[in-house]
Amino acid sequence: MRFPAATWSRSLWLTSTFATLVLGIAAPLAYWGIILSTRVPQIIGVGVVSLAGALLLGTALFVVRGYVIDGHVLYVQRLMFSTKLPISGLHGIWRDPTACKGSVRLYGNAGLFAFTGLYRSDSLGMYQLFGTDLNKSVVLKLAHHVIVITPAAPEEFIAQVRSLFPSVALESSRNDGLSAGMSA
């Protein structure tokens, strides 16, 4: 079953817009200004502009478009491919709009077309993030792994996962008022 990603949050829009303007417009303009006013070799400027364009294109390929559950695999749909995440050891799932608060990015993208990568927080430990609106975060807890995603309809996603994995505990977030380990 396919679940679209949440619409982009305001912070994702602002970060992506700003970075696109800087990389797509300001970098080439700065290059031309430097070339016209100095004796910098043209190849350096071409390299800088090419790098900026490659960075924009490369990150755009990793945008999060949606999520597909197929058996014991969660696929994160990107622009031209999918990231395969086995979830056979899933034992907890819950919605937590504050799941990513206070997290430190270890590796990944913190807002250019998506929030993705490897992060660490006191509450979740190390986790993989594939999202577009952190207020719609759903935490999937596996035996030795945690995944955070942001489907457009978090409750529907959780209900579908629980129908496929009836023994999975519906755990509580820090803010939803449910008791931990509840399996409604």
Look at residue 172 in the predicted model and tell me its pLDDT: 67
H or E element at residue 77: strand 73-77
Q: Give per-residue pLDDT as tens, 130-173.
A: 999 999 999 999 999 999 999 999 999 999 999 999 989 888 65
Would you call 75 exposed, middle or buried from its count of C-beta atoms within 10 A (0-12, 13-18, 19+)? middle
Distances (CA, A) of 171 to 38, 82, 121: 61, 27, 18
- Contact between 150 and 3 (Cβ < 8 Å): no
Per-residue confidence band for 179, with pLDDT thresholds at 50, 70 and 90: very low
pTM value is: 0.86
Q: Is residue 183 pLDDT above 70, yes or no?
A: no
